[in-house]
Amino acid sequence: MRGARVLLAVLVASALYSQTPYPPFEPGPKNIGLFLRSSNPKEVAWAAWLAGKHPEGGGQFTPALRQALGRTTAEDGVDQRKLQALLLHALIRSGAGVPMEELASLYEGFPDEVVALAVAGYSHNQDAVFSTLLKAEAKHNRVHWLALLSLLNDNGEAEALPPRARSV
């Protein structure tokens, strides 16, 4: 029994010793952008957090954050949902607006974040806004409904609304 414990301790120690350390990461803009384009979810999550905390503002990382978010919507799973939350929060902290076409599929899981990014300012596809508005109405979420309704008719003309919205 004692021999088995010693053998186990030696195996664990040798496994830990033989692991190669992770390369050092400097949180500069170049590395943040590089890690946001990574296929490793942990690297993307770390870079998203750093982008949101960047002292010069995360606006320079908005395109890379949006691309990373787009890659996560194609996959499903608990880790992808956590990564989506990090990316959405990094986008919110950066003050960026995101088109509703990119956000609409995320409304069920992250309604507050989707509405916050939508109202941050962007030229939205009216049909995507209207379909998200209907989801907010089904959830009886008046705050989201009003915020999305304000996006539907920014210019005050009824002709700008999708045909389904004009009949409501």
**pLDDT of amino acid 160:** 53
DSSP three-state, residue 137: helix
Could you read off the pLDDT of 122-157 as tens digits, one per residue?
777 888 888 888 899 899 988 988 888 888 866 444
| Banded model confidence at residue 88, pLDDT cuts 50, 70, 90 | very high
Q: Which of 46-50, 52-56, 75-79 shows the lowest per-residue confidence on average (mean pLDDT)?
A: 52-56
Output the pTM of the full model.
0.72
Q: Residue 20 above 70 pLDDT?
A: no
**pLDDT of amino acid 152:** 80
Higher pLDDT, 128 or 168: 128
Report the mean per-residue pLDDT for the chain. Answer: 78
User: Mind spelling out the 3-state secondary structure of 59-116?
Assistant: HHHHHHHHHHHHHHHCCCCHHHHHHHHHHHHHHHHHCCCCCHHHHHHHCCCCHHHHHH
The DSSP result for 32-61, as a single string, is: HHHHHT-S-HHHHHHHHHHHHH-TT-GGGG
Query: CA 87, CA 64: separation in Å to the nearest integer?
Result: 10
Q: Residue 110 above 50 pLDDT?
A: yes
Q: Residue 164 above 60 pLDDT?
A: no
Higher pLDDT, 141 or 20: 141
